[in-house]
Amino acid sequence: MPGTQAQLAQRAQRSIKTVSVELAALVLLGREAHIGDWLRQPRGGKPIAIYVAGPGANAPRPPLTPGALYTKRSRVRSGFESSGGLARA
């Protein structure tokens, strides 16, 4: 550690699914690992969590980009997604 799920899976030579399950358990305990930061993808998409060993509070997820917010509102209006607390603009 530190690293994303994909980086940690590659270093440990395990599948991403296995690493994902193990990291979820470690983060849930809050003593073994936590989300130290978020990595924004250069071409958009969901931010990627960067995991750090040791205790600590998880870093808050970054806010949606304007493009992602527009897409989410469009999907909510068309009925493909629930609002999930999304305020109307």
Q: What is the pLDDT averaged over residues 41-57?
A: 87
∠ CA 4-37-9 to the nearest 5 degrees?
Answer: 10
Provide the H-helix boundaries in 5-86: 5-12, 16-29, 66-77
Alpha-carbon torsion (66, 78, 49, 61), positive or negative = positive
- At 13, the pLDDT band (50, 70, 90 cuts) reads very high
Measured distance CA(53)–CA(29) in Å, rounded? 12
Q: What is the pLDDT averaged over residues 8-13?
A: 93
Q: Across-strand partners of 49?
A: 38
Write down the pTM of the prediction: 0.73
Query: In this structure, how many other beta carbons lie within 10 angstroms of the beta carbon of residue 50?
Result: 18
